[in-house]
Structure 1
Amino acid sequence: MTRIGIAGTGFIGKGIAIEVNRQPELQLTAVLTRRDISKMGDYPFCEALTNSTREFIATCDMVVECSGDIIYGSEVIDQAIKAGKPVVTMNAELQVTTGSYFAKRGFITEAEGDQPGCLASLHENVVDMGFKPLVYGNIKGFMKLDPVLEDMQYWSQRNGVRLDMTTSFTDGTKVQVEQALVANGLGAGIAKDGLLAPESEDINKTGAELAKVADRLGCPISDFVVSPKGPPGVFITAEHDKRHEEALKYYKMGNGPYYTILQNYHLCHLEVIKTIKRVASGGGVLLNNGKEPTVSVAAIPKRALQPGEIIDKGIGSFQVRGEAVEISGNENHVPIGLLVNALITNKVKEGEIITFDDVELPESLAFKAWQETIEKAPINI
């Protein structure tokens, strides 16, 4: 029996708790929350709730972090790693900001469910079949780089998802974060800062076009397509041994040389349980940000920012959005995940990358973790 502790009581955390509780080989022993427990009578496992990180970690064998908060989540993971507990995250934003710091210190893996974990699982599958991945693709149905507050409030209430999360989904920050994690975790690059993000009516055709870019660059790429009619899933476009060309044609995979393998869903908290079981049975890391990342997610102003402005939280704000960038050449950029209670000290034009010269950030473990990561990030000569 593996004792599971979950950090987070939001939409994802609650769903994971329900699934863990259904598994005979798992036991939900603690759920860490910052909310007032006396006001959480509608939570399905009130007896497991705690506000104490120390108590939380002491009573579990594995930590599942899904708080949606990079600063707080990093503090929780730090204590878990120090206690020798493996960590499963459903927090790509945390992974690309502080995940590399923790990957050097203990066991941390992203879970299946969100697109990065689903792509990592699909990667294992296609490689086992002999394919050579060229494109790790995410499928996004809609994007608006500068959405308006009223629209985001409407969709937030309609879908029961936090306003900041809804905004980060819409302005592209979330998918940029996801594909940065995929690049770092699966040894891919990016074709350009901000990604290519082509519009697509045919995933197979667009996958082949992206594969040509990867061939030209000489390495696999991580990217996404905007496809309003596409499924909410992921895809990998790959090559295969030419000796299987006729067989793959017979299997309805097309004429080659590029083949697109599509997973037409991602089911978030319902899939996390697979990674929890993987880790509980001694399986290795599915995906993390790697010890030496090459891609980060920079903060880009949606409008000109003035000295004295405060950014309460960059991810999901109406002041900035995130873009995947190569760390080499952008060493002074501020990862959007660190923009929490940040003071703007210089004017920054719309569309420019915010640098550490432009802001004052509160001290935090997350800030320290990034500083260590950037000091050891590989530099391309």
Structure 2
Amino acid sequence: MNNITRVGIVGTGLIGKGIALEVEKQSELKLSTVLTRRDISTMNEYPFREALTNSVDELIGNCELVVECSGDVIYGTEVIDQAIKASLPVVTMNAELQVTTGSYFAKRGFITEAEGDQPGCLASLHENVLEMGFKPLVYGNIKGFLKLDPVLEDMEYFSKRNGVRLDMTTSFTDGTKVQVEQVLVANGLGAGIAVEGLLAPSSDDLNETGAELAEEANRLGYPISEFVLAPKAPPGVFITAEHDSRQKDALRYFKMGDGPYYTILQNFHLCHLEVVKTIKRVINGGGVLLNNGEDPTLSVAAITKRTLQPGEKVDKGIGSFQVRGEAVRLATNKNHVPIGLLVNAVMKRQVEEGEIVTFDDVELPESLALTAWLETTNKAPVNI
């Protein structure tokens, strides 16, 4: 790549705009194009209006690296496909896309999730603790609040207050987002889960809860990806790990406790402010930080929040009031529909509250995302 790398961004929301502001500050980076589906003539307040385009071809033709942060699985998949075909490296802040179609692209080109959201932060922390000789047992995400079936009025209030889209606010609240994030972490870092839907213990002491989860990981025989409900804890991530017993006295002196389990906390994740670190990692040859892997073992199924009727339309599953996402094992849920594919879908038969939506239950429109999922899971084409 050139000394100055031209960066193209997909998305103009909170995250996309924030990344653009940070890219423009860097001497070795240049903001080239920003792809949006909005009417550019109405975007006078966007800080880099001259960079805006509605053309995927213009984006691809004018950059050397693509950052995808549209928050849209179906659309993002189409754009990334064009970038990969053009041999461009892709950095995402779109865990929902990664767990749905990321593996399809991991086999075809360079795609990595960025630091900033919890999965990328956990991947970075993972590299750090390995360098210090730790053996990770728990990849932990910290969540302050969870309500599996929030009401519309509350979500509208918090969406407006925080300046975040309604569907995103809802997916944060009902647990879909954290389930997606921890599935990406597990697939990307070679971990598993203790139970489908995750254990999600409540915690007033991360060291104590981390140790309990580490015990479970040792019982299972593999590291686990999890989240804790800890309203008093900082909005970060943690890894609970073992270490060489010969370092026990030193670790006690370093205020890490008596072991055998040690919890290493990163007490923040700063979303778009951290993405530049991953961009620089990529252009400097640092390789993939995290992606969904070529052969994932976990997915995020759509669980109904209420009974869905034949003919009912699901405009978008993630962040809806019809379904929420839950981590599941692919080996035992081969016919589930990933929640990221539930877009403009029509129910074919009744699905009771609390059940997993399967391909037999719903009619999905054709899309590259659907094709990618079927290839990734080695499924024969279904009637779509």
AA aligned to 2:57 is R
Give, in angstroms, the shift of residue 283 of structure 1.
1.1
Partners of 1:264 and 1:351 in 2: CA distance: 34
Partners of 1:331 and 1:200 in 2: CA distance: 33
Matches within 5 A, 1:105-254: 105-254=108-257
Partners of 1:56 and 1:246 in 2: CA distance: 55
Structure 1 runs of 4+ with >4 Å offset = none
Q: 1:280 aligns with which of 278, 283, 286?
A: 283
Partners of 1:198 and 1:6 in 2: CA distance: 37
TM-score relative to the length of structure 2: 0.98
Give, in angstroms, the shift of residue 144 of structure 1.
0.1
Which residue matches 2:382?
none
AA aligned to 1:31 is V
Give, in angstroms, the shift of residue 84 of structure 1.
0.3
Partners of 2:233 and 2:292 in 1: CA distance: 27
Partners of 1:221 and 1:140 in 2: CA distance: 17
Give, in angstroms, the shift of residue 280 of structure 1.
1.1
Q: 1:80 aligns with which of 66, 80, 83?
A: 83
Partners of 2:93 and 2:291 in 1: CA distance: 11
Give, in angstroms, the shift of residue 346 of structure 1.
1.2
Q: 2:263 aligns with which of 260, 264, 267?
A: 260
Partners of 1:201 and 1:308 in 2: CA distance: 45
Which residue matches 1:351?
354
SS at match of 1:317: coil
Partners of 2:232 and 2:309 in 1: CA distance: 39
Q: 2:294 aligns with which of 291, 300, 320?
A: 291
Which residue matches 1:7?
10
Give, in angstroms, the shift of residue 28 of structure 1.
0.3
Partners of 1:28 and 1:375 in 2: CA distance: 38
Q: 1:61 aligns with which of 48, 61, 64?
A: 64
Identical counterparts, % of pairs = 78
Give, in angstroms, the shift of residue 332 of structure 1.
0.3
Partners of 2:101 and 2:126 in 1: CA distance: 24
Which residue matches 2:323?
320
Q: Deviation per CA, 1:203-249, whole angstroms, max 9, x where unpaired?
A: 11000000000000000000000011111000000000000000000
Give, in angstroms, the shift of residue 130 of structure 1.
0.2
Give, in angstroms, the shift of residue 368 of structure 1.
0.2
Q: Deviation per CA, 1:342-381, whole angstroms, max 9, x where unpaired?
A: 00111111111110000000000000000001118xxxxx
Which residue matches 1:379?
none
Partners of 1:206 and 1:345 in 2: CA distance: 43
Which residue matches 2:31?
28
Q: 1:337 aligns with which of 336, 340, 347?
A: 340
Give, in angstroms, the shift of residue 72 of structure 1.
0.3
AA aligned to 1:344 is M
Alpha-carbon RMSD across the aligned residues, in angstroms, is 0.8
AA aligned to 1:326 is R
Partners of 1:349 and 1:183 in 2: CA distance: 29
AA aligned to 1:240 is H
Size of the aligned set, in residue pairs, is 377
Give, in angstroms, the shift of residue 115 of structure 1.
0.1
Q: 1:366 aligns with which of 369, 379, 384?
A: 369
AA aligned to 1:338 is L
AA aligned to 1:60 is C
Which residue matches 1:39?
42
Partners of 1:18 and 1:2 in 2: CA distance: 15
Partners of 1:230 and 1:348 in 2: CA distance: 37
Give, in angstroms, the shift of residue 62 of structure 1.
0.1
Q: Deviation per CA, 1:281-340, whole angstroms, max 9, x where unpaired?
A: 111000000000000000000011111100000000000000000101101000000000
SS at match of 1:328: helix
SS at match of 1:357: coil
Q: Which moved more, 1:162-171 or 1:367-376?
A: 367-376
AA aligned to 1:122 is L
Q: Deviation per CA, 1:137-170, whole angstroms, max 9, x where unpaired?
A: 0000000000000000000000000000000000
Q: Deviation per CA, 1:48-91, whole angstroms, max 9, x where unpaired?
A: 00000001100000000000000000000000000000000000
Partners of 1:344 and 1:264 in 2: CA distance: 42
SS at match of 2:77: helix
